[in-house]
Structure 1
Amino acid sequence: MTDGAKTLLHPVADLAKAKPVYAALLGIQPQADSDYYVGFDVAGQHIGLVPGGGPQGMTAPVAYWHVPDIEAKLAEVTAAGATVREAAHDVGGGRLVATVTDPDGNVLGLLQDR
């Protein structure tokens, strides 16, 4: 079971140029703003900007499904036929993320807050 897809990460070439566009689109300033990540919390969704193509050369937005136990969910989805693209790792503050691909190559994100 998951808590749903609550996080959507957008890879961008230039955070400084992308930030005002997303701020205008969403109607708010970012709640997290650093040189490696810019994050907006909007209506229960977390919209993040990641520089340089994002994790593992990500080129399209990736939805991250919030899970209580990322390692257990990785085992479950790989047993069902997914392939690990990016192993679980801490991205700061105890937040763990991982990505897998489905049999058609679609990228699915997993996120666990500690």
Structure 2
Amino acid sequence: MLRGPATINIWADDLEAAKNWYAELLGVEPYFERPGNGQPAAYYEFRIGDRQTELGLIDRAYAPPQAAKEPGGALLHWHVDDVEGALDRLLAMGATPYEPLTERGPGFVTASVVDPFGNVLGIMYNRHYLEVLGG
């Protein structure tokens, strides 16, 4: 039934700052922008990773009323080849620790941070990801 993430959306009070931060982190500019109610943009979208997953940045003004204001909820881990290096880079860019570098078992290492906009960003080395990607 679930076939893979189509779009992952995160909220930001300062959408332009979030766009710039993620563009620096990802090394690409968003490929899509949607203006909103007199604002320069209400939404930016990146395509990233091996499967070109959509990462959407949305102005928090458009968040559902029940959306959490504090970090929490579901935690998505993005596969990285070097968790420690990725964690160091995220922290150097202004993210704050959420979950420390943790070995979960052979071939599984995770960590997570809170980006400067209040969203939890998980990173993981996952040997099964590489096996599926290679298969």
TM range (shorter): 0.3 to 0.5
Rg (Cα) greater in structure: 2
Q: Which has the higher contact order (CA 8 A, sep 6+)?
A: 1
What TM-score, normalized to structure 1?
A: 0.47
